[in-house]
Chains A and B, each alone.
Chain A
Amino acid sequence: MAIMGNPKYEARINQHLAKYETKRSAVMPLLFIAQEEYGWVNPDGINEVAQILNLDPTQVKSIAGFYTMYSEKPKGKYWLQVCTDLPCALKGADEFHAWLKEELGVQEGGTSGDGLFTVDHVMCLAACDKAPMMQCNFRYVENLDQDKTRELLAMWRAEAAQPDNGRG
């Protein structure tokens, strides 16, 4: 379904449009809504955001491309982003990142064969005192080790196996 005219998003879109002095300022929150609806910022989402804000789609696309939290291609159901910046790396984040990729059988930025997990790395997430850590679909999981992570992976796999587990 689209985001335009979708009752699920109508109130939120209007709220964002109301809080800024210009329509253009709402481009970032609207791109997040498009990503929520489609799972990534796809061409339909770009076009709809452009239409709502009276912008050119190429302008919206360049904004989406500038920021790392907008995904420009489909990802696994769980997008795992390990922080490997210096403070986390001093506490074993690089080794943890390598282990996680091996555990899931993926390359950097790749998605596991079952389509569930995409793994990549990010810069400091302001959680350096709880290293190693990562975000899963932008939720922080902190103070990780292999055992705790295996439990989390099992939990996400079980969650994904439930019927009616759409992203929304």
Chain B
Amino acid sequence: MHILLRGRDIKNIKQFDVYEKHGGFAGMKKALAMEPAEVIDVVKASGLRGRGGAGFPTGVKWSFIPQQEPVKFVTVNADESETGTFKDREIMEENPYQLIEGSLICAYAIQAKAVYIYLRGEFWDIGDQLDECIEALREKGYVGKNIMGAGYDCEVYTHLGAGAYICGEESALLNSLEGYLGQPRVRPPFPAQKGGGLYKEATVVNNVETLANVPFILSEGADAFKAIGTEQSTGNKIYCVSGHVKRPGNYELPMGATFRQLLYEQAGGPLHDDRPFKAMLPSGGSGPMVPLTDEVLDTPMSYEDCANIGTIIGSASIIVMDETVDMTWVASKVTKFFKHESCGKCTPCREGTYWLDKVIDRILDGRGTPDDVKRIADVAENMAGTTLCALGDFAANPIIHTIRHFPDDFAQHVQA
């Protein structure tokens, strides 16, 4: 059953009437009849965790907002720029009202003045569609003053980025939205605190998919949500499958389904029958690489089980590679991404990605030495944990784990 990708089951759910007829805004009506703090408790009880990558418990994040502050904001992270991720796009294209409803429930729960949806600039047409939805909701009295007659006021706006992966990092996103360079901020103060959020006001930043889960949680209850998935990883998740499979695409499955179910039953197995799977990056370019062994294939896709196999589920953008792929080439691709996207603010990230790229190119060209392979591993180890934002770790992760799992792929380029 789809909770998120309902556009696949219900024709024209992107139209207001159809969305409402199929239960749309029932969750919001329930929420508006509750105290804001009670709404937060329901989301906490559901166990929902952030779908933007870090997996932070959503209700707990909302509860950090100081209620006494007069001005608060919600910012929706629709930057969707992690390599291999294309789920938020489908939610917003095919089921836009559900995102807006979830955002409004969040806004009510923290008593926010406004919601800003920050979309990557390439999604300008999705932004136009969302603007139309917002206007339709304003006419219905679901956005603006005295929403649904409940005495709560809230505006919803869209904002377009302009091509910068780093603006998906929440504090960089806030800077960008304020018209400053999209570079991360020093924390604390955190966005949820006065001084750390949008326009220095306390702010919740949540991913599109996270918020799109919220209407179901309110309308069906926390228990119904918790009944799906595993104990620590509740609900459904959208898995973006790309690379060497027969049917790449988005698949919505309960958390805790196995990689085998996703990659074989859903995505159809290896693209070429005679070329078995070799490895995957389960969280886009930024999470640790893992070999696709039987043990890994039988691992449930949950926060806790992925930690056990040395990786993360993160944004669940699963990039699959078959046996023909040279992992040194993959390391080069991923490194070029992070070198391009480093905002340049801190030295280990800026210089580290520069050197990684230079040395990996040398290895790929056949001009490298075994020392060069050690050198990139050292550079990556030294970057991890030393930077202002997690991009430094993201850049280091794939290198460290790729060399660890596939040393021969590197060695073959540097044989004397």
Contact = CB atoms under 8 A, between A and B. Distances in A.
Interface of A: 19-22, 24-29, 31-32, 53, 62-63, 66-70, 85-87, 89-91, 122-129, 131, 135, 138-140
B120 A126 contact: yes
A86 B179 CA distance: 31
Interface stretch (B236-244, B291-299, B379-387, B405-413): B236-244
A145 B341 CA distance: 28
A89 B89 CA distance: 21
Interface stretch (B20-28, B80-88, B257-265, B303-311): B80-88
Nearest to B158: A19
Q: Max chain A CB contacts within 10 Å: which of B163, B165, B325?
A: B163
Contacts of A131: 242, 248
A22 B337 CA distance: 33
A67 B242 contact: no
Given A128-B248, A138-B124, A32 B199 contact: no
B342 interface: no
B178 interface: yes
Contact of B249 (A123, A126, A129, A140): A129
A53 B148 CA distance: 36
Contacts of B89: 126-127
A164 B376 CA distance: 55
Given A63-B180, A66-B181, A90-B244, 6 more contacts: A28-B160, A29-B159, A67-B182, A123-B165, A124-B84, A127-B89
A126 B248 contact: no
Contacts of A89: 333
Interface in B177-200: 177-182, 199
B242 A32 contact: no
Contact of B80 (A85, A126, A135, A139): A126
B121 interface: yes
Given A68-B162, A86-B285, A128-B240, A63 B178 contact: no
Contacts of B360: none
Contact of B333 (A25, A29, A63, A85): A85
Nearest to B176: A28
B88 to A, nearest CB: 8
Main secondary structure, interface of B, reads: mixed
Nearest to B177: A25
Contacts of B164: 66-68
A152 B365 CA distance: 35
Given A28-B162, A129-B250, A66 B182 contact: yes
A63 B179 contact: yes
B248 A29 contact: no
Contacts of A90: 242-244, 319, 321, 325
Interface residue tally of chain B, by bracket?
Answer: 35 or more
Contacts of A127: 86, 89
Contacts of B248: 128-129, 131
Contacts of B109: none
Given A67-B121, A67-B182, A86-B84, A128 B242 contact: yes
Contacts of A67: 121, 161-164, 182
B157 interface: yes
Nearest to A122: B163
Contacts of B181: 62-63, 66
B220 interface: no
B94 to A, nearest CB: 14
Q: Max chain A CB contacts within 10 Å: which of B160, B240, B244, B248?
A: B248
A45 B145 CA distance: 36
Given A29-B160, A86-B84, A86-B285, A125 B244 contact: no
Contacts of A139: 125
B364 interface: no
A87 B341 CA distance: 17
A16 to B, nearest CB: 9
B330 interface: yes
Nearest to B89: A126
Contacts of A25: 159, 177-179
Q: Max chain B CB contacts within 10 Å: which of A26, A31, A67, A90?
A: A90
B322 to A, nearest CB: 9
A12 B179 CA distance: 17
A121 to B, nearest CB: 10
